[in-house]
Structure 1
Amino acid sequence: MQLFTGLALGSVFVLLAVGLSLIFGLLTVVNFAHGAFYMLGAYAGVFFIGYLGNFWLTLAVVPFAVGAVGLGVERWLVRPLYGRGIDYPLMLTFGLAYILVEVVRILFGAEGMPFDAPDALMGAVNIGVGYFPAYRLFVIAATAVLVIAIWLFLEKTSYGLVIRAGARDSEIVRVLGIDISQVWLLVFGLGTAVAGLAGVLSAPMRSVFPDMGTTVLVEAFVVTVVGGMGSLAGAVVAGLLVGIVVSMTSLFAPAMAEVSMFALMALVLLVRPQGLFGKKGLMG
């Protein structure tokens, strides 16, 4: 049973790390505003579920809304910093995160807000070894579907081929007459949309408050480092692994649950400094 709890927690980590890895792996941008986009997804969920009155419509709309914000950030804030070094967009997104949090505080207040799972996913399901919350099973399934969809898009479509080619050699893509700036725009928007989806999916499990993105940003970077910066497969494997480690540790040593992910990261880095699936020299 604790294993399934770890998988549910790991699914949120996977969604966070996938978006972070997409942006870093294809744009080499360390997005410190990723946790803020996750928070925006949760608050967008609160807004749209109040406006639409339907969880499923909200779940469909939120990624587009947060992704649209991401498109604007890439086009008007991040793009002018390409080619100036990795620290420039890092510092910009670091400051942007604080701005987004303060904007949310002004609009929604500093207190937390409730966000309930839909009636169809309330209660528990018998999984053979006991009863497990239906909503957490849904999160696991939704994460699996999304990861497969992203993999198919990147590996099996012509536009995915352009994205991967642009990540390896943007000059060659330009020579072929492709506007690489539009490729980067799409990737940043996709990464932020996934972060927004992670926010609205985790809202019924973790509640909604302005600083909710701060903690998950640390968790997302731990998962990304363990899996390997820029690796989609690494984000998936490491996200589930970290979730299981935290869940199992909370069962046997609750006081060490939060520390366990950092211990895992340290262990992995001692053995493989580039992470489980990372490539050497990516940060160079």
Structure 2
Amino acid sequence: MTMIFGIPLQAFLGQLLVGLINGSFYAMLSLGLAIIFGMLRVINFAHGAQYMLGAFVGYLLLTNLGIGYWPALILAPLIVGISGMIVERLFLSRLYDLDHLYGLLFTFGLALVIEGTFRYYYGVSGQAYTPPPALTGAVNLGFMFLPVYRGWAVLASLVICLGTWLAIEKTKLGSYLRAATENPTLVQAFGVNVPLLLTLTYGIGAGLAGLAGIMAAPVYQVSPLMGSNLIIIVFAVVVVGGMGSILGAIVTGYMLGLAEGLTKVFYPEASNIVIFVIMAIVLLVRPAGLFGKDA
């Protein structure tokens, strides 16, 4: 049997795969958080609830309306994104001129309301969400069996993250978004509807959380607690990558997912805290984060 560092190769690669899958969802969620903070300067504590909402929308579309995975993959992030845009227009837009703490407190309260509502109707037990037949089964790679759905989740996450980064960094809309955060008065003077841009930004961030939720649903059970269990880790990822850094959120999400997976191989007891240990070390060495800009 092939061994790596005294560990069977299959077990080693299996934990790397688990880390990569977790990292895929960390990256997508961190990306949404980084977009919202980078553009709106809002610490969106409701992000975990929006992730859970995406999973539940997919589950409810399937169980109540018979809408399968592929249509729900489009509908769920749209529904979560539109709900986020409504929240931004009605509530968050009134807080931009106040201290950032007010936005954090509002989104924290919103998360409690959403989570509490679903806990009331569904309890805390998980609901199964079956992947489509095309993504069931596993592929024999010779040294291990790769579950098809998990492989799809990793590849789809990479495409979504890179596509979002390119859209923000390389397109005219992305340049408007970035300019609106630096000097909204000047951008508005050129005829750009800045309030609409900010609403779209929050909707895109919330939609990314919803998309991560429905993609995660077949891997993890759909539960009202799935977002609250993940949001602290995602905040740690964003801090390590650099608050507001789009590229930092993506790279750090995958990197810390892999670090978590490797820790489960060599020292399982520390796997639940390794991300926070890395965060503490990074903040000591580089307070702005790996990809953040020093003040």
Is the CA contact (8 Å cut-off) linking 1:15 and 1:143 kept in structure 2? yes
Residue identity opposite 1:5 in structure 2: V
Deviates most, 184-193 or 211-220: 211-220
Distance 1:128 1:26, change over 3 A: farther
Q: Normalized against structure 1, the TM-score is what? A: 0.95
SS of residue matched to 1:132: strand
Look up the match of 1:23: 36
Instruction: Indicate the RMSD between aligned Cα atoms, in angstroms.
Output: 1.3
Deviation digits for residues 63-97 of structure 1, max 9, x if unmatched?
00100110111010100111111111110001111
8 Å contact kept, 2:53–2:210: yes
Q: How does 1:211-222 map to 2 (within 5 A)?
A: 211-222=225-236
Work out the percentage of aligned pairs sharing the same amino acid: 41
What letter matches 2:60 in structure 1? F
Residues 1-284 of structure 1 aligned to structure 2 (within 5 Å): 1=13, 2-50=15-63, 51-281=65-295
C-alpha contact (below 8 Å) 1:113/1:207 kept by paired residues: yes
Total equivalences in the alignment? 281
Deviation at 1:213, TM superposition (A): 0.9
Rounded to whole Å, the distance in 1 between the matches of 2:119 and 2:250 is 32
In 2, the alpha carbon distance for the partners of 1:8 and 1:200 equals 14
Once the two structures are overlaid, the 10-residue window that deviates more, 149-158 or 95-104, is 149-158
Distance 2:92 2:150 in 1: 35
Aligned 8 A contact 2:239 2:279 in 1: yes
CA displacement 1:166-222 (0-9 Å, x = unmatched): 122212112212121101000000000000111111112221111211121101101
| Alpha-carbon shift at residue 266 of structure 1 (Å) | 1.1
TM-score (norm 2): 0.92
Residue 144 of structure 1: how far off its partner (Å)? 1.2
Q: Please say if residues 238 and 248 of structure 2, whose CA atoms lie closer than 8 Å, have aligned partners that are also in contact.
A: yes
Task: Indicate conservation of the 8 Å contact 1:7/1:244, yes or no.
Answer: yes
Q: Secondary structure at the match of 2:146?
A: strand
How much has 1:41 moved relative to structure 2? 0.7
Contact 1:8 1:243 in 2 (8 A): yes
Q: What is the identity, as a one-letter code, of the residue corresponding to 1:225? A: V
2:84 counterpart letter in structure 1: G
Asked whether the equivalents of residues 33 and 97 of structure 1 are also in contact (C-alpha less than 8 Å), the reply is yes
Contact 1:71/1:188, CA 8 A, preserved across alignment: yes
SS at match of 2:287: coil
Report the alpha carbon displacement of residue 261 of structure 1 after superposing the two structures with TM.
0.7
Cα distance between partner residues in 1 of 2:66 and 2:126: 21
Code of the aligned partner of 1:43: F
Whole-Å separation in 1 of the counterparts to 2:255 and 2:283:
15
Contact 2:165 2:247 in 1 (8 A): no
Aligned 8 A contact 2:167 2:174 in 1: yes
**Secondary structure class of the residue paired with 2:107:** helix
- Higher-Rg structure is 2
1:128 CA displacement? 5.0
Q: Is contact 1:52-1:58 (8 Å) kept?
A: no
Contact kept? 1:11, 1:239, Cα under 8 Å: yes
Alignment partners' CA distance in 1, 2:242 and 2:66: 39
Comparing 184-193 and 47-56, the one that deviates more: 47-56
Equivalent position amino acid for 1:236 in 2: I
